């Protein structure tokens, strides 16, 4: 089990800017997860949900949606970092997202990250930007690289 880097104050966050946050545990992306994501989003493109057709396609199998990979950040990021002693934390968005390589069904993913920026907000919170890289086991390129933006209120 991965041990997350724990932050208990704004000062601790500021001190960690530029630092590697660690590496999370592997998470398998199975066809059930892909199909449920397709149902939730209405994206039933054959490369995601039709195993027979996808076997003859460019990837040789079904692949996860890029946005499915991105949507795993709330599961993957707490394995590499956690902010404690807060009244509330929210996902504020992403500044930049890229999907450099596909995620074939059955792939295992994990996250690494670097704290990029910490700024105060006008409403008394702190906004952090974390560059999260989602690695695919045995992959030569990341599956996803995203600048995740979160806000915390201590």
Q: Which of 54, 129, 56 is nearest to 93 (CA)?
A: 129
pLDDT > 90? residue 1: no
- Report the CATH fold assignment for 5-28+63-153: Thiol Ester Dehydrase; Chain A (3.10.129)
Residue 2 has a pLDDT of 74
The answer to whether the CB of 67 falls within 8 A of the CB of 123 is no
Instruction: Report pLDDT digits (tens) over 37-90.
Output: 999 999 999 999 999 999 999 999 999 999 999 999 999 999 999 999 999 999
Mean pLDDT of 98-117: 98
Which of the four pLDDT bands, split at 50, 70 and 90, describes residue 133?
A: very high
What is the enclosing helix (H) or strand (E) of 59? none
Mean pLDDT of 3-15: 96
**What are the residues facing 7 on neighbouring strands?**
83
The answer to whether the CB of 113 falls within 8 A of the CB of 76 is no
pLDDT > 80? residue 109: yes
């Amino acid at each position: 089990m991965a041990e997350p880097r724990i932050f208990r104050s704004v000062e601790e966050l500021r001190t960690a800017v530029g630092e590697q946050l660690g590496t999370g545990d592997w998470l398998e992306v199975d066809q059930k997860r892909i199909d449920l994501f397709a149902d939730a989003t209405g994206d039933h493109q054959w490369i995601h949900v039709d195993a027979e057709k996808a076997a003859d396609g460019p990837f040789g199998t079904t692949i996860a949606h890029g946005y499915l990979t991105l949507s795993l950040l709330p599961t993957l990021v707490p394995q590499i970092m956690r902010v404690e002693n807060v009244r509330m934390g929210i996902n504020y968005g992403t500044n930049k997202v890229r999907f450099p390589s596909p995620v074939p069904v059955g792939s295992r993913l994990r996250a690494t990250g670097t704290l990029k920026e910490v700024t105060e907000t006008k409403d008394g919170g702190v906004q952090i930007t974390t560059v999260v890289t989602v690695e695919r086991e045995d992959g030569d390129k990341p599956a996803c690289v995203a600048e995740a933006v979160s806000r915390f209120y201590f």
